[in-house]
Chain A
Amino acid sequence: MESPELQQRVAELIGQHYELLYRVSFRLTGSTADAEDLTQQTFLTAHQKLHQLRELESAKSWLLAILRHHFFRNRSRAARQSVPLDSLPEPSDSIDEPTVFDSEELQLALNELPEEFRFPLVLYYFHELSYQEIATQLDIPLGTVMSRLSRGKQHLRRRLIAEETTIQALIITPTSSLTR
């Protein structure tokens, strides 16, 4: 592929997917700088490997696969601050109360999860991949994905229950600022 054509295709990919990739990166890494780095690494690799992308329709999952690769590679270098797998709760049959929480609290709860749990959970909540697709991408059994999703979600529910947040205004009630 000629360079101008290659750059044009990369530019299209960036235009279509950079926001999603940045947001996923942010939720995975928990910091703006790391999310920018991860997004950039993803597109630089995509640039190099563009010849492998056969269908434009599959570009999103292809980019997410590259992002996943870099995420796990980067994290393996860093000291892990997440909780051990064993300390995550088993799925509970207790009734979870609806709650409110904000973006930062959600991020703190996400940061506590091991990467293996965080990645499928973030993709699940972004509605980008089904659990079958997550299993394929991570190359792990369906049952493992289901278990990780369930335990990860249980962790979020327990951590975020009944906390006041600013996002409450976004979802539940009109804000006073509108009445100014």
Chain B
Amino acid sequence: MTSFCPESDAVNCAVALERLDCVWIDPVPDEPLDADLSAAMEHVRQCSACWTTFEKRRECDARLAMIMQTILVPVGLREQLLARTAEMSVDLNINTDAILKTGNDLPVNGKPLVEKLGHREGTYEAALLRRRAWTITTAAAMLVFAASGSWLWHAMQGRPTSVQTLCELTPLTAEGLPIVQDLSQLPALPQSWPRIKGLKIIGVPCWFQPPGSKTAASWIPFELRQPKSKPIHGVLLTMLRENVLDPPSELMVQSALLKYAHRAGKPLSVAGWSEQGVVYLCFVNDEPAAIERLMKLTMPTAA
């Protein structure tokens, strides 16, 4: 590999690649790098073997990040956390001042925090029993969700939905939507998305069925964070092209913006396009400039 490298280069291939392994970086960095990273980047640009490895690692990293973050959060966890902290607010007065100050096994009034909480509820076994009951309840709830999600999917044959209906009725929060239990049922993400730096799925994919329609769409919350740019939060709706009455055309940044309106007092921009038989609608609670930035990154040649 080193035979590809300029002889004057002080950074060898392994060191350069190791340094760049620590940062999410574009081929053309959009922010100043420190001296070591700049030298590593310069080396990789001039070394064809390193560049090939670097590119493949970036692609692998994007996939790893996507899969790493795709985890279903248990139903009811939020409520459980709220309940436990509310219980603490009432009468528990544990001194945890030592916590975070040392890395040792920290006592709380002479006992570990979890043990102390166990005592407060009677016995540790009682706490365990309660958690098991909660787990069983959660599992039952998950089964109900799974059944409803499956029912939705099998019941959704036929009647195409208009883009306008989807634009107007797609919710921006997951409240009340059935969770996608089997991720393999989801359609493909836009081809370029796994390679877009800073773009990730931030919640649990759900199914959305527009009222009056028998067609369900997958509902995927996402977030785009890039240096020096305002974060973009939104929802990607995907649906088979044949199930959409008036599917949008292939992706063109200029024509992708379908709608700009206000919902609940906030600006809402919607962009849409078709890609390999799937219709994508992108909802962003922001001005059109934000979604245009995302569309430029989504263009097949951009990522």
Chain A interface (Cβ < 8 Å from any Cβ of B): 3, 6-7, 10-11, 14-15, 18-20, 22-23, 26-27, 32-33, 36-37, 39-41, 43-45, 47-49, 52, 65-66, 69, 72-73, 76-77, 91-103, 106, 122, 124-127, 130-131, 145-147, 149-150, 153-154, 156-157, 160, 166-167, 169-175, 177-180
Contacts and interface: CB of A to CB of B under 8 A. Distances in A.
B106 interface: yes
6 contacts: A22-B73, A44-B85, A91-B18, A125-B65, A174-B188, A178-B185
A99 B200 CA distance: 19
Interface hub of B17, B57, B81, B99 (most chain A Cβ within 10 A): B81
Contacts of A153: 21, 57, 61
Going nearest first, the 5 A-B pairs with the smallest beta carbon separation are A166-B184, A125-B68, A150-B21, A150-B18, A48-B96
A33 B200 CA distance: 25
Contact of A7 (B67, B71, B89, B114): B89
Interface residues of B, number: 73
B194 A96 contact: no
A41 B113 contact: yes
A144 B70 CA distance: 28
B14 A47 contact: no
Given A96-B56, A156-B64, A170-B183, A126 B69 contact: yes
Interface in B196-243: 198, 200, 202-203, 225, 240
B302 interface: no
A131 B19 CA distance: 11
B187 A178 contact: yes
Interface string B79-104: 01110111011100010100110010
B240 to A, nearest CB: 5
A96 to B, nearest CB: 5
Contact of B89 (A6, A32, A77): A6
Given A65-B100, A125-B64, A39 B77 contact: yes
B284 interface: no
B60 A157 contact: yes
B22 to A, nearest CB: 4
Nearest to A22: B73
B96 A14 contact: no
B125 to A, nearest CB: 16
A36 to B, nearest CB: 7
Contacts of A103: 67, 70-71, 183
B74 interface: yes
Given A3-B89, A19-B73, A178-B240, A149 B96 contact: no
B67 A33 contact: no
B185 A177 contact: yes
A128 B100 CA distance: 20
B78 A18 contact: yes
B13 interface: yes
Given A14-B81, A96-B60, A127-B200, A175 B186 contact: yes
